[in-house]
């Protein structure tokens, strides 16, 4: 029986991976640091070891007999402000570096890493002639004026978005994004140095049962849900036409199980997505209609560092793992409108 160490096992995604792993008859050592920002103060989960991935000695002990590490633990989300940066660097980057060192000491050579589509920054764009163009960060003056679309920096022409593939340019544009790319870089260097293997799963917008309720670190789908539960209209930033890929957490768990079973060499990055783009405005509308709530409010507000469009190709994951999403966004979001959410105390930004 394959024995896995699952970090972040009490989290939203980690909990679903834990259920899927047990359902696949894997022997799971489940650990979680139970951070207050994610779980509230004094939280504890039955059957899950309280363990911080920055504690190397505890990791080595937990890793006895482990064949594969499935690393879900991370401080997630866009954050509140720049003051959050030390927490992201400490938990995500230093924590991953400690984990990799513990794997080396314990003789474990296989890692499945929860990465994110945020490493791409803006998605892939082409001009009117079909040439790939890399737009720079959007100017605040344009955003203040309600001009949200990316344009060619040389000609000022509007750009069309395309599906992002795994070999696309990486350009993190938030603290969280920088930390996720650093995780990938540490893991890739570890694979080269040790001969180990890494599957980095670049999750797109994950949603589903047991998402945390409205916190600064929740996904936008949960924030829309929270508004609707209070009888309020979901508030949509910009013009609501931002294109994204929303992938159900059950599919994300399935991608992890497929990665645990795969025997790949070196470092492999894979998009985990539905392959069906949807706009943020459409997400809010589907949820509002499914709950019979007020229509979304398009605010025109924006967040510095947000990207305009980021949608993914699902082809490589299917070719490499045999994985393809089974729940498409409109179907999944309609069900999510009444799915249970997880209550979490408002403890503020993550602690270092």
Angle 273-77-48 from CA coordinates, rounded to 5°: 85
* Other beta carbons within 10 Å of 160: 15
pLDDT at 202 over 80: yes
* Other beta carbons within 10 Å of 317: 27
pLDDT of residue 9: 97
User: Percent of the chain at pLDDT above 90?
Assistant: 80
* Other beta carbons within 10 Å of 352: 12
Q: From 293, 278, 292, select the one nearest 227 (Cα to Cα).
A: 293
Q: Which helix (H) or strand (E) holds 132?
A: strand 132-133
Q: DSSP assignment, residue 34?
A: -
Radius of gyration (Cα) for the chain, nearest Å?
20
pLDDT of residue 147: 93
- pLDDT tier, 306 (very low <50, low <70, confident <90, very high otherwise): confident
Helix and strand totals (H; E) in the chain: 12, 16
pLDDT digits (tens, 9 = 90+) for 8-50: 999 999 999 999 999 999 999 999 998 877 776 777 888 999 9
Least confident span in 74-83, 170-179, 274-283, 296-305? 74-83
pLDDT digits (tens, 9 = 90+) for 42-72: 778 889 999 999 999 999 999 999 999 999 9
Arithmetic mean of pLDDT, 101-127: 96
User: Percent of the chain at pLDDT above 70?
Assistant: 95
pLDDT digits (tens, 9 = 90+) for 181-191: 999 999 999 99
- CA–CA distance from 113 to each of 52, 140, 228, 259, 270 (Å)? 16, 34, 33, 10, 10
DSSP 167-229: TSPP---SHHHHHHHHHHHHHHHHHHHH--EEEEEEE-EEE-TT-B-S-TTS-HHHHHHHHHH
pLDDT of residue 83: 83
Arithmetic mean of pLDDT, 123-134: 92
pLDDT of residue 27: 98
- pLDDT tier, 214 (very low <50, low <70, confident <90, very high otherwise): low
């Amino acid at each position: 029986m394959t024995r896995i160490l699952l970090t972040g096992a009490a989290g939203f995604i980690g909990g679903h991976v834990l259920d899927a792993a047990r359902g696949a008859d894997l022997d799971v050592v489940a650990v979680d640091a139970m951070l207050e920002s994610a779980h509230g103060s004094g939280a504890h989960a039955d059957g899950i070891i309280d363990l911080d991935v920055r504690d190397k000695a505890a990791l080595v002990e937990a890793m006895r007999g482990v064949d594969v590490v499935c690393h879900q633990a991370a401080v997630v989300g866009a954050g509140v402000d720049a003051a959050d940066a030390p927490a992201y660097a400490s938990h995500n980057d230093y924590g991953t570096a400690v984990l990799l060192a513990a794997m080396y000491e314990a003789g474990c050579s296989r890692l499945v890493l929860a990465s994110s589509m945020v490493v791409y920054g803006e998605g892939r764009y082409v001009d009117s002639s079909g040439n790939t163009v890399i737009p720079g960060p959007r100017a605040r003056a344009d955003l203040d004026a309600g001009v949200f679309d990316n344009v060619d920096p040389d000609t000022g022409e509007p750009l069309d978005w395309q599906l992002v593939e795994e070999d696309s340019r990486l350009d993190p544009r938030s603290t969280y994004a920088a930390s996720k790319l650093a995780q990938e870089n540490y893991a890739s260097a570890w694979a080269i140095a040790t001969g180990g293997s890494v599957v980095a799963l670049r999750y797109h917008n994950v949603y589903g049962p047991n998402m945390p309720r409205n916190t600064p670190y929740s996904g936008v789908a949960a924030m829309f849900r929270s508004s609707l539960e209070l009888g309020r209209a979901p508030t949509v930033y910009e013009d609501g036409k931002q294109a994204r890929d929303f992938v159900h957490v059950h599919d994300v768990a399935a991608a992890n199980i497929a990665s645990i079973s795969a025997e790949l060499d070196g470092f492999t990055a894979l998009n985990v997505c539905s392959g069906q783009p949807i706009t943020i405005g459409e997400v809010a509308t589907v949820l509002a209609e499914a709950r019979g709530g007020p229509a979304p409010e398009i605010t025109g507000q924006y967040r510095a560092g947000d990207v305009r469009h980021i949608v993914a190709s699902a082809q490589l994951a299917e070719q490499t793992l045999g994985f393809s999403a089974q729940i498409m966004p409109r179907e999944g979001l309609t069900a999510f409108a009444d799915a249970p959410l997880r209550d979490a105390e408002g403890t503020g930004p993550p602690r270092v």
